[in-house]
Amino acid sequence: MAAPTIHEMEPRQRRRVLAAALLRALLTAIVLVALYYLLPLDNEWRLSSAMRAVVGLALFVAVLIWQIRRVLSARHPEIRAVEALATTLPLFLLLFATTYFLMSVHGSGAFSQEHLSRTDALYLTVTIFATVGFGDISAVSQAARVAVMFQMLLDLVILGVGINAFVSAARVGRQRQSATEEAGSDPP
């Protein structure tokens, strides 16, 4: 028997399932932000900034694919899709915040501020994602401008394709559960 949809659950059970999903998403975001602030990112690495960004994006794509697969097989795919989005979005933003922070540390003159702290880099990333653009921190070097343009383009992809992928995965997951339930109730 397939799990009931969120709308078919008793109100108390629905609140418990939603609260657990939101708590997992919140804890994941907290862990990611803590890692962003605690990892020794400013140590000298052998990889260039561009190569680190490519590795980070590959990691992000791997997590995105893993999350979509989890939505497809979840007991409550709709809730899992929201949880997956709440996990992948902070990872995406922290990836670019890390890129900007490292560009600032290892390449003087990349941004209008001489040195970006981790908070400055995260702030810049979120203002770009939100399309606010206060202008207090801006990309100055060509490499920084390319990175910001790349983030802007990926922001649009994440908002369009990424959200749609999670919604579609939830829909397919729910259809699979219904098909399995119907196949299981047919006499042999």
Residue 51 placed within a domain:
yes
185 has a pLDDT exceeding 70? no
Count of domains for the chain:
1
Tell me, yes or no, whether 1 lies in a domain. no
Average confidence (pLDDT) over 90-113: 90
Start-to-end CA distance of the chain, whole Å, equals: 16
Is 66 a member of any domain?
Answer: yes
Residue 49 within a domain: yes
Average of per-residue pLDDT values in the chain: 87
Residue 75 forms part of a structural domain: yes
**pLDDT band for position 3 (50/70/90)?**
low
Q: CB 88: neighbour CB atoms within 10 A?
A: 21
């390319």: which residue's tokens?
A: 146
Please name the residue ranges forming H helices in the chain. 11-38, 49-72, 77-106, 118-129, 142-157, 163-185
Boundaries of domain holding 61: 6-185
Query: Mind listing the pLDDT tens digit for each residue in 36-74?
Result: 999 988 766 566 767 777 888 899 899 999 999 999 998
Q: Are 53 and 147 in contact (CB under 8 A)?
A: yes
Q: How confident is the model at residue 187 (pLDDT cuts 50, 70, 90)?
A: very low
In a domain, 176, yes or no: yes
Instruction: Quote the CA–CA distance of 121 and 172 in Å, as a whole number.
Output: 37
Q: What is the pLDDT of residues 122-151, one digit of tens each?
A: 999 999 999 888 889 999 999 999 999 999
